[in-house]
Amino acid sequence: MTKQVSLTTQNRLIISGLILSTVLIVAIAVFAIFNIQKKLNYGYQNFGQIVSRALAIECTELASSHETLKSHADTIVASHDDIVFIEFRDADGKLIYKTDAHKSVNPKSPSITVNSPMITDDNKNAGSVTVGLSGSIISQISATTRASLLFVFSVAWIVFAFVILINTYLITRELRILHEGVHKISSGEFGFTIQDKEVSSEVKELFNAFNDMSNKLHIYEEQNIEQLTLERNKLEAVLMSIANGVVVCDNNDSVVLVNNHAHQLLDLEENQMLDTKIQNYIDTEGSYCFKDKIEEFKDTPLAVMEKKPLEFNIQVDKRVIKSIISPMFTRNKDYVGYIIVLIDMTKEAEMDAMRSTFISNVSHELRTPVTVLRSYIDTLYNYGNDFDYETQKEFIGTINQEIIRLNGMVNDILDFSRMEANAQMEKSLNSIDEVVNTSVEHVQRLTNEHNLTISVTKEENIPQFLFNYDGIERALTNLLSNAIKYSPENGEIKVNLNKKGDEIELTVTDQGCGIAPEHQKKIFDRFYRVENNIHTIKGTGLGLHLVKTTIEKYHSGKIFVHSEIGKGATFGIILPICTVEESIV
């Protein structure tokens, strides 16, 4: 494969100048040779005319003596190499005598033939003399002249071309020196100077200006490199400490920076991706998760990407990561690459799934009591008179239970909404003992339906302290309701109230199926519900979350759970004993 060499503008000008000068010199040489040849031919013609006239004058008197005329003509032809022949004719045009042709030329091809009349003294025509000239002299002179002119013009062209080439070499040499200096500066060698020996004055001024600029850049670099390094370190420190993951790529897709959080999100070792292509990253499913999106980003105009960055999700090690690709520009709006922001959306994705499950569960849970209420009320309305008192009482009792159940779900949803809106809970001095009694009374009907018993153990002399009565009562009722749901028939639920230092501890223990360790960490999350092969109890998934929020957020307390599979569960509440005087302090 041959390499194509492209001519620069300077080279094209040099070649054009040489061609133009060559054409001009050749044209001048041809013109000069043509004119000289013309002048020589004209002079040679005059020479032949003079020779013929001289012979005509000399031979007029000899025309009567043929022998003398012959001898004289032969002598002239023999004595001059350029005369080919001499021919004499009388007044009637008859040939008197013609010499033999000169032995060194072809008599049939004289270069010039000149004819002159022979006039006697009394102006009578005695005949004519014809002289044939070979033209050898003029040929020699012409050849010598042409050779001389061609030599002169050739030397002139060579000198001209040599001067152009030398001048071009000197100019390009100066440019090469300047180019080397610019290359040194561009590579960061500030302070590099160019030697200005044997250069023209104009170029010397340019070199001096370059050296001055280089020295100023060197001074500027020394003064500002520490500041620039500090600013760069600050920028990298900011990017490294950002809570979200950040991946910075140049305009060649090479990764130039990955902050700490991005290493964690993408499950990378330190500096693993630096100086590599971001498209080569493979997620946990073995897919090039960035490749197609980067291509889409590049195929979209930068103005569009600047206003609306490209957003998409990837999955790495069961984490859902939201990725946002935005272009990067300098202050002069020059495109230098792009930045990928990584946001861990795992909890949000799980919350969305839980929220969908919550909506489904709430819809189902609300539909059940509403359906029961509608059917029972419709039956009583249409056929109530046909039922005896006990049947009517049973129907009304069922309706009452469903209303209580519906009211509890609505209260959970309202409490959740209020707590999400950061509503305040007013606190006052109350007795935790009364809260326990009230909560146990509220669930007494449920325990009777499931043949359960609740045993309460309380420490004496627990003082009143500051808390929200309704909030703590709902929290304890919620724990008791859960214990009832998951306890077996004829089981026992234990409630213990103890004072431990400046805190009280309230626990609810059931004899249910227990909670696996992996669920215990998430059981207080909103919308989270435990489903297993042992039980599938319907609910909203908000109860324990509301308990946790009420205790920890609004009362600065703690909530905990201890459980083993098959051995029941114990849910506990710890509240600080805070009096009005202490709260004022």
Between CA 425 and CA 418 the distance in angstroms is 10
Residue 582's pLDDT band (cuts 50, 70, 90): very low
- The chain-wide mean pLDDT, for the chain, equals 77
> Between 277 and 8, where is the model more confident?
277
Measured CA distances, 439 to 27, 513, 544, 551 (Å): 124, 23, 16, 16
Residue 377 lies in a domain: no
Beta-strand pair 453-458/492-500: parallel
> Between 120 and 10, where is the model more confident?
120
Q: Are residues 431 and 282 in the same domain?
A: no
Does 162 score more than 70 pLDDT? yes
Q: What is the pLDDT of residues 74-121, one digit of tens each?
A: 777 777 777 788 888 877 778 877 887 655 544 445 667 888 887 777
Measured CA distances, 259 to 193, 242, 256, 273 (Å): 41, 8, 10, 11
Residue 314 lies in a domain: yes
* Residue 104 lies in domain: 9-141
Residue 257 lies in a domain: yes
Share of the chain above pLDDT 70, in %: 79
Instruction: State how many domains the chain has.
Output: 3
Does 536 score more than 50 pLDDT? no
Residue 518 sits in a domain whose CATH number is: 3.30.565.10
Does 7 score more than 70 pLDDT? no
Does 32 score more than 60 pLDDT? yes
Does 363 score more than 80 pLDDT? no
Does 277 score more than 60 pLDDT? yes
Residue 232 lies in a domain: no
Measured CA distances, 291 to 277, 279, 297, 458 (Å): 10, 4, 10, 65
Does 580 score more than 50 pLDDT? yes
Task: Indicate the residue among 315, 344, 373 that finishes a domain.
Answer: 344
Kindly report the CA angle at 276 between 275 and 280, in degrees rounded to 5? 165
Between CA 416 and CA 410 the distance in angstroms is 10
Residue 352 lies in a domain: no
Helix/strand/coil for 419:
helix
Q: Are residues 429 and 316 in the same domain?
A: no
Task: Indicate the residue among 141, 171, 200 that finishes a domain.
Answer: 141
Mean pLDDT of 495-501: 89
pLDDT of residue 581: 47
For residue 8, give both structure tokens: 């620069």
Residue 354's pLDDT band (cuts 50, 70, 90): low
Q: Are residues 132 and 22 in the same domain?
A: yes
Residue 292 lies in a domain: yes
Beta-strand pair 465-467/428-430: antiparallel
Instruction: Specify the range with the lowest mean pLDDT, choosing from 173-182, 283-292, 355-364, 385-394.
Output: 355-364
Q: What is the pLDDT of residues 548-575, one digit of tens each?
A: 888 888 788 898 988 888 888 899 899 9
Residue 134 sits in a domain whose CATH number is: 3.30.450.20
Task: Indicate the residue among 95, 118, 141 that finishes a domain.
Answer: 141
The DSSP string of 318-369 is TEEEEEEEEEEE-TT--EEEEEEEEEE-HHHHHHHHHHHHHHHHHHHHHHHH
Using CA of residue 146, residue 147, residue 152, residue 157, what is the dihedral sign? positive
Between CA 26 and CA 8 the distance in angstroms is 27
pLDDT of residue 507: 92
Q: What are phi and psi of 117, to 5 degrees?
A: -80, 150
Q: Are residues 436 and 570 in the same domain?
A: yes
pLDDT of residue 109: 53
Residue 153 lies in a domain: no
Residue 330 lies in a domain: yes
Does 300 score more than 60 pLDDT? yes
Residue 505's pLDDT band (cuts 50, 70, 90): very high
pLDDT of residue 585: 31
Mean pLDDT of 476-491: 86
CB of 337 closer than 8 Å to CB of 328: yes
Q: Are residues 329 and 474 in the same domain?
A: no
pLDDT of residue 59: 74
